[in-house]
Structure 1
C-alpha cells in the first residue's frame, strides 16, 4: 500500500477489502483449475474458428478435443 504506485496501491486495497476471500482461496483444498483449463481450451478453439466456420464445425472440434 505504501509503494507509491497507483496500480499497486489499488490492488493492495482490493486484497485488503476482500481479505476473507483471499484467505479462503489460499487455504482451501478445493481448486477450479480443471474447469478453468477446459474453459481456456474452449475459448482457444472458438478464437481459432471465429468468422471462418459455422457452429457445426466448432461443435465438432470441441467434441474431438475432449
Structure 2
C-alpha cells in the first residue's frame, strides 16, 4: 500500500507541476490541459494536484501506513 501511495503521489505532483508549467510557459505538457472539464480553471487544478500529491506522499511516509 505504501508503494501505491508513493506512486500516486509522485504522479499527482508531476502532473500538477506540468499543468502549472503549461499555463505559465505554453509548453504542451500535462494531462490537465487535455481534459475539457477544468476549462478556465487549469491553474486551480494544477495547484490541487500538487497539494494532493504532497498529501499522498506525506501519508506514505507516515509510520502507520502499510
The structure with more radius of gyration: 1
TM-score of Structure 1 vs Structure 2, range by shorter chain:
0.3 to 0.5
Higher RCO (CA < 8 A, seq sep 6+): 2
Calculate the TM-score normalised by the size of structure 1: 0.34
